Structures are given as structure tokens and as C-alpha cells.
Amino acid sequence: MTYYEALDWINAMPSFSSERYGLDGVSKLLDKINNPHLKLKYIHIAGTNGKGSTAVFCASSLIEANFKTGLFISPYILDYRERIQIDGQMIAKSDFVKMVELIKPYVEILKNEGVVCSHFDIITTIALNYFCVNNCDVVVLETGMGGRLDSTNVIPAPEVTILTHISYDHMKELGSTIEDITMEKAGILKKGSVCVCDRNQMPEVKNIIDSTCVNKDIPLIYSYKASDIVSGDSMNSWNYNGVDYNTKLIGKHQISNAMLAITALLNMNIDSCYIKVGISNAYIPARLERLSESPLIVLDGAHNLDGMRALNNSLKVFNKKPLIGVISMINTKDYMAALSEIKGTFDKLIVTEMNLENVVDSSLLFKAANKLGFDALIEKNADVAVKLAKKMAGEDGMVVIFGSLYFASQIRSVFCNN
């Protein structure tokens, strides 16, 4: 089996977010390979936004502290193997093939027994087995969606559970109220762990997390507060407890994500000297990532109400005119609510379509933008839309490409190839 054959096989599996959602498949698949997940230590992360950045902040710091560190994140931006990393290095193609060849027969056996393993069940199993085979000291594990029924929730009590900011997303699967969504996210909380929670949660969210931790006898720590914050267009800096921190990830929300990681790591007795370097070195694509300087072109994966709000706040530090937006979204998102968060921000909004089956039709997105008062136009071809945005921005302006991490992946690959 080649790497691309292995990838095609996984991609042909049912989606974790629709046809299959639960722990039955992943539990039985892991059992077939002697439950490697039970031999590892974890930091487990759930929430609506900020999971990926918080995970990378944690992993980068643990690597600095000389822990052999596994990292499992989703989705990927350029290479599928970004999902599975050890000490900052993606799983080798040959190792990926070996893991697929090991697991594939068991997936077929379970299918014959009436147990269908989803795409996410399979990639989670591959990751956990790879981390175990390579004797990782700690694994930083990001949930795919929700928490209670997410495939990653098959693990035993982690060292620390992190809950990033919780808001509205995946409502079809998680529930239509913030209380329902929080209950699903808080479903990863297990006795024997410590919960580190974002300090800026809504009161309804805090109430549920507080009561869940009390009922399960789980220590709850809200993220520590940063001071002396300086948020610029190329770096964030701040102080906590006499230590100066900085990150190249832009936007004040990244300071909140970093403080979640700092709080968790300090409570694991990781020295702040390692955390400081780890936070500074942390990198994750498509988070206000600068692709070009003249005009300034940035790429962001904002795709829901909370993400759009963070993006909108972050753009204020750039002070560039004209500001041109290029947007495409997937149809599982509330695009009207998301657009309302950036109303009045852009001088021009170009609505386009990424190369994806469940993309929002550009005419629908255009109508929504017009209804909200945007100065918008349609260019269905995404590459042409970006070229048009560059022309409109001129040398002194700014282009922001956003709406989906899948869209970010498509655009970033074009920039990298060029």
C-alpha cells in the first residue's frame, strides 16, 4: 500500500460529523490492537475556538521541557499528516502506511460485526497507537467536535483537561442552546484530572462547568490573568507572575489561548522558563498568518460567530486602508450570524467559493452580505477573487482571506506553490 492509497482509504470512511458520531467504533477498534491509549498521559482540549492554538502552545512548551510530546490536531492545512506529530515532526508517510495496514483489517472485521468505524475513529486510533509505539511522555489531544461523544474521549483521565472559550457551533450535532453545547464539551471531564477553563466564559457556561467539576470531584482552575498586554500587528507580549511572554500569533484572543496553556503547564509543574520559550516558538498556520507584505495579505480560519468576533477585534491593530475581505464558508455554519460580527469592518467584501462539496453557494452568501449592508461582489473562482482583492487593496491596503480552515488550506497551498 502506498501513502496515497492509505489516504484514499481513510478519506472514503464515513464522516465523524454526520454519518457516525460516538465512542463505540473507536473503543472496539482500539481494543483490537490491545488498547495502546491506556498507556499514555494526556492533556485533553475541548472548546469552540482556540483549541488548535492552545494545543500548539502546550506541545511547544513541553518539547522545550524535554518531554517527548505527541500532538493530535484537526483539521490540517496543507498536509494530512499535520494531524499527527511527535516533537513538532509530522508522522512519516511510511509510518502512516504501517498504521493503516495494521488497522484496516480490524476495521473490516468490525464492519462485518455491524460496527462502522468513522474517519475520525480511524485517524484517532492511528494517532494514539503511533504515540504509544513511539513511547511519548505526554500527548496533547484536541477534540474534533464536542467532547462527550468525540472519538478522543476514549482516553482515561488526563493530567489536565483544558476547556477553551465555548460558544455556538456544530449546533446540529451538539444542541441549539449554549447549555446543551457546554454539556457536550464538558463531557470530557473525568475524575482524576484537573480542569483548566478559559476565564472569559459566559455565565451559563461557567455554571455548567462549575457544577460538573463539583459533581465529579474535579479541581477547577480558571486561566490566570495576563498583565502589561501589548497587542501589535506582528507580535503579542504580556506578563504573568513576573515572567514576560510573547507570541508571533496575532490577536488578543491568542493571549487568552496562551494563558490557558500557561495555567495548565504550571499546574503540571513545568518551569516557566520552558513555557516562555515554547510560547514564543509556537506556530500554527491560518491564524492571522501573513502571506504577503505589499499589499499585506493575511489568512485566517475564522468560521463561526466567536471566531469572526476575534478576527474583527484583531484587525483593528493593522490600521490599513483599504481593507478588502475574501470569504467562503461551508454550509454547516450560520453564515448570517458570522457575517453580522464583521459588519462595517471591510471596505469591500468579495464573496467566492472554495473547492469543497458543502460550500455555501456564493449567491446565497452574497445575498446575506447585501442584506447586512456590506459593499460586496461575487467572484466564484477563488484564485481570481484573491487576485482581484490584491488589485483593489493596492500596495498600501490589506487583504483578509477567511471563512473556513478548509478555504484557508486551499488558498495557502496556492501561495506556497507560487
Distance of CA 336 to the CA centre of its chain: 22
Which of these ranges, 90-94, 122-126, 411-415, has the smallest mean pLDDT? 411-415
Distances (CA, A) of 353 to 325, 347, 360, 380, 406: 13, 20, 7, 5, 11
CB distance 21 to 153 below 8 Å: no
Residue 104 pLDDT exceeds 80: yes
pTM: 0.91
Residue 291 pLDDT exceeds 60: yes
Q: How is 74-141 classified by DSSP, letter by letter?
A: SS-SS-GGGGEEETTEEPPHHHHHHHHHHHHHHHHHHHHTT-PPPHHHHHHHHHHHHHHHTT-SEEEE
Mean pLDDT score of the chain: 93
CB distance 254 to 307 below 8 Å: no
Length in residues, the chain? 418
Q: Is the previous residue joined to 322 through a cis bond, with omega within 30 degrees of 0? A: yes
pLDDT digits (tens, 9 = 90+) for 329-366: 998 888 999 999 999 999 999 999 998 888 999 999 99
Q: Are strands 89-90 and 69-72 parallel, antiparallel or unpaired?
A: unpaired
Contacts of 13 (CB under 8 A, 6+ apart): 107, 117, 118, 119, 121, 122
User: 3-281 and 289-417: same fold?
Assistant: no
Could you state, in order of their start, the residue ranges of all structural domains in the chain?
A: 3-281, 289-417
Q: What value does the mean pLDDT take over residues 271-284?
A: 97
Q: Name the more confident of 15 and 37.
A: 37
Instruction: Tell me if residue 147 falls in helix, strand or coil.
Output: coil
In the prediction, which pLDDT does 350 show?
A: 97
Q: What is 289-417's CATH superfamily?
A: Mur ligase, C-terminal domain (3.90.190.20)
Residue 223 pLDDT exceeds 60: yes
Residue 75: pLDDT band by 50, 70, 90 thresholds? Answer: confident
Residue 170: pLDDT band by 50, 70, 90 thresholds? Answer: low
| CB half-sphere exposure, 182, CA atoms < 13 A | 21
Residue 145 pLDDT exceeds 90: no
Q: How far apart are alpha carbons 401 and 291 in whole angstroms?
A: 10
In the prediction, which pLDDT does 17 show?
A: 44
In the prediction, which pLDDT does 172 show?
A: 61
Q: How far apart are alpha carbons 131 and 246 in whole angstroms?
A: 29
pLDDT digits (tens, 9 = 90+) for 298-319: 999 888 888 899 899 899 889 8
Q: How far apart are alpha carbons 94 and 384 in whole angstroms?
A: 37
CB distance 334 to 308 below 8 Å: no
In the prediction, which pLDDT does 171 show?
A: 52
In the prediction, which pLDDT does 19 show?
A: 45
Q: How far apart are alpha carbons 70 and 88 in whole angstroms?
A: 8
Residue 20 pLDDT exceeds 60: no
- Angle at which helices 252-266 and 272-281 pack, to 10 degrees? 150
| Residue % of the chain over a pLDDT of 90 | 79
In the prediction, which pLDDT does 108 show?
A: 96
Classify 3-281 by CATH class. alpha beta
pLDDT digits (tens, 9 = 90+) for 54-65: 999 999 999 999
pLDDT digits (tens, 9 = 90+) for 174-207: 666 889 899 999 999 999 999 999 999 999 999 9
CB distance 129 to 72 below 8 Å: no
pLDDT digits (tens, 9 = 90+) for 204-221: 999 999 999 999 999 999
In the prediction, which pLDDT does 18 show?
A: 43
CB atoms < 10 A from the CB of 387, how many? Answer: 12
Distance of CA 259 to the CA centre of its chain: 16
